[in-house]
Structure 1
Amino acid sequence: MSPNNPAHVERARPDELVPSRYALRIGDIDVMIISDGVLPLPTETMSTNVDPVVRAAWFKDIFLGPDAFDWALNVVVVRSGGRTILVDAGLGTEFPGFPRAGQLVHRLEAAGIDLGSVTDVVLTHMHMDHVGGLLVDGVKDRLRPDLQIHVAAAEVKFWAAPDFSHTAMPSPVPDVLRSAAKQFLNDYRSHLRPFEEEHEVTPGVIVRRTGGHTPGHSVVRVSSGDERLTFAGDIVFPVGFDHPDWHNGFEHDPEEAVRVRIRLLREMAATGELLVATHMPFPSIGRVAIAGEAFRWVPAFWDY
C-alpha cells in the first residue's frame, strides 16, 4: 500500500493529532484500517435491555459516560488479486450532528489510495455510517464506471421497506437511515452485486451474511496462508465482550444479534485469528479470549 510514500501522502490536517490509518499484512494480502472519525452517541444505545444503573456502572468502570461517549468508526481497504476493495464507506458529510466523522475521502487520499483505484466495495450493511461516504458530493464521479458493490440480497430487500419496530434508536435516526439507504440505492443500484449467503470477492476475501444487526448484515474474512482476519462490522461493540447479551439500540433483531455475536466471538476465540470491527476503538485490531461466561478483548500490539 506504500502508506509512507511521501509522493502519495498528503500532509496531516492540523486538527488531526493521531494517525488515522494502520496497515498490516495477512499472508500475501495488504490490509489497511482507516478511521472515519468518531460519533457522539448516548450510552443508552449500548444496552437497551439492562437497568440504567448497571449500564452506568459499566461505563464508569471504563472511564466513560455517564450519558454519552465517542463511538469509533472504522473502514478497511484490502488489496488482493489485483483488486482494491473498500469494506464499508463511513458516514459521509450529510449529517451536521456528527462533525468529527465523515473523514473517509481525505483519509483515503492521505493513505495514497485514489478513489478511482477502488474496484470493489463490500458493505457489511446499509446503515448511514456504512454507506454515507459514497453519497458525498463528487464521490460517485471519481469512482470507476465498472465498480462492483457487494451486499447481501436480504439487505437490499429490507431497505426497500425497512421495519424499525425492534430497534431503540434516538428519535431522529430512523428517518435519516431510511433516507440515506434510499439515496444509496437510487445512486448505485446498477453497481450492486447482491449475494445470498456467501461470496468470494477475490481469492482470500470472502463476505458472508450473518443477519442479526440487520437482516443482511455480513462479515468479511481475509485469509492467506495460515493467517486470517475477520472484519465483523457491527456484530460486536466494546460492551459486547463483557456483556454479549446486552442489546444495541441499532439492532433490528436484538435476540438474533446476540446469538450471532456469541457464535462469532466463540469462533474467534477458538481460531485465535485477528478481529476488526467498525465501532471498536481505532485501530480496532485484536483477538478474542474466553473469560468465564463472557469474553475478553486482547488488543494487538502496534507494529511500528
Structure 2
Amino acid sequence: MATNADPADLANWLDYMFMPPDAFDWPLNVMVARSGDQTILIDAGLGGQFAGFPRAGQFPQRLEAAGIALESVTDIIITHMHMDHVGGLLVPGVKERLSPDVRIHVSATEVEFWTSPDFSHTVMPKPVPAVLRSTATSFYNEYRGQLRIFQDRHEVAPGVIVRLTGGHTPGHSVVDLVSGDERLTFAGDAVFPVGFDHPEWHNGFEHDPVESARVRIALFQELAQNRGLLVAAHLPFPSVGRVAVDGEAFRWVPVIWDY
C-alpha cells in the first residue's frame, strides 16, 4: 500500500486505522447496474487462481442471493484484467451459464498491454506476476469472441459510461453511472483505503505508480466537486460514499447503508 513511504509512516497509519501491522484484509467488491433492459456486471472478482482464499469464486452465489441470475447479465465491464477482476469469469460453470450473446467491454489499451505485460515498476509477492499474466491470458482466450473493445470512452447503456484512466494498468478504466441528478463512479483499483489520507503513496500492484497517483488525485478532486457517489473494488463493503477535500488530502464520507 505504500511502497514509496517510510515504513514508520505506514505503521502509524495502520495503527491509526486499528489495523494490525503485519497484514491487511483486502476487501473486494463487484457491482451490478440496470439500465433499461440491460443488466450490467462491473468486474467479476477472484476465481480459483490461488488456493485457500476463503471468499474467492463466490460472485455467482452472491449475485443469486441478490436476486440476479447469471443468465440475465447482458453486459460485463472489466475495469482491468488483474486476476481479482476477471478471475470470477473463469470459475467452473460460469461461462456455461452466461448468455452466449453477453458483451464484455474492455479497453483496447488493456488488451494490448497483457500481450506482453510490464511488471518493472510493481512490487508484488513473487508468485503473483506469473498468475496475473496467466489469468489475463486465460480470460482473453476464453472470452475473445464476446469482447467489445473500446478506445477512450464508451456508452455501454443509457447512463452507463466506461472511460479510460490508465495508471493502475495502462488500460485501467472507471465506470460512471448517471440517473437523473444522481451520479456514481465505480473506480476499480484507482482507489485504495490509504489513498484518502495519502493519495501520493504508491501501491505495489500499480504498473505505473506515478501516473496512478495522478489519476487518483484527479478522480478525488472530480468527485469532491460533483458530489457524486464513489464505489471502489477495495474499499470496505458496501463501499458507497462521497469524497471531500481535507487540506492536502481527502476525506471519505460513507453513506448510511439501508439493508
If the length of structure 1 is used for normalisation, what is the TM-score? 0.84
Deviation at 1:153, TM superposition (A): 0.3
Equivalent residue number for residue 20 of structure 1: none
Which residue of the other structure, out of 85, 91, 100, is the alignment partner of 1:136? 91
Q: Which runs of 4+ in 1 moved over 3 A?
A: none
Deviation at 1:94, TM superposition (A): 3.2
Equivalent residue number for residue 207 of structure 2: 252
Instruction: State the distance in 1 between where 2:55 and 2:155 align.
Output: 34
Residue type of the partner of 1:84? T
Answer yes or no: is the 8 Å Cα contact 1:73–1:101 preserved in 2. Answer: no
Instruction: Kindly indicate whether residue 170 of structure 2 is the aligned counterpart of residue 215 of structure 1.
Output: yes
Equivalent residue number for residue 57 of structure 1: 12
Equivalent residue number for residue 91 of structure 1: 46
Equivalent residue number for residue 195 of structure 1: 150
Instruction: Kindly indicate whether residue 50 of structure 2 is the aligned counterpart of residue 119 of structure 1.
Output: no
Equivalent residue number for residue 186 of structure 2: 231
Residue type of the partner of 1:48? T
3-state SS, counterpart of residue 28 of structure 2: strand
3-state SS, counterpart of residue 223 of structure 1: strand
Answer yes or no: is the 8 Å Cα contact 1:231–1:275 preserved in 2. Answer: yes
Residue type of the partner of 1:89? A
Instruction: State the distance in 1 between where 2:89 and 2:149 align.
Output: 17
Equivalent residue number for residue 78 of structure 1: 33
Answer yes or no: is the 8 Å Cα contact 2:49–2:83 preserved in 1. Answer: no
Answer yes or no: is the 8 Å Cα contact 1:77–1:84 preserved in 2. Answer: yes
RMSD after superposition: 0.8
Answer yes or no: is the 8 Å Cα contact 2:108–2:149 preserved in 1. Answer: yes
Instruction: Kindly indicate whether residue 195 of structure 2 is the aligned counterpart of residue 240 of structure 1.
Output: yes
Answer yes or no: is the 8 Å Cα contact 1:94–1:136 preserved in 2. Answer: no
Number of residues of Structure 1 aligned to a counterpart in Structure 2: 259
Deviation at 1:105, TM superposition (A): 1.0
Deviation at 1:117, TM superposition (A): 0.5
CA displacement, residues 172-222 of structure 1 (integer Å, 9 cap, x when unaligned):
100110010010011000110010000000100000000000000000000
Equivalent residue number for residue 102 of structure 1: 57
Residue segments in structure 1 that go unaligned for 5+ positions in a row: 1-45
Answer yes or no: is the 8 Å Cα contact 1:200–1:206 preserved in 2. Answer: yes
3-state SS, counterpart of residue 30 of structure 2: strand
3-state SS, counterpart of residue 79 of structure 1: strand
Equivalent residue number for residue 284 of structure 1: 239
CA displacement, residues 28-57 of structure 1 (integer Å, 9 cap, x when unaligned):
xxxxxxxxxxxxxxxxxx001111111111
If the length of structure 2 is used for normalisation, what is the TM-score? 0.98
Instruction: State the distance in 2 between where 1:162 and 1:76 align.
Output: 27
Equivalent residue number for residue 13 of structure 1: none
Equivalent residue number for residue 38 of structure 1: none
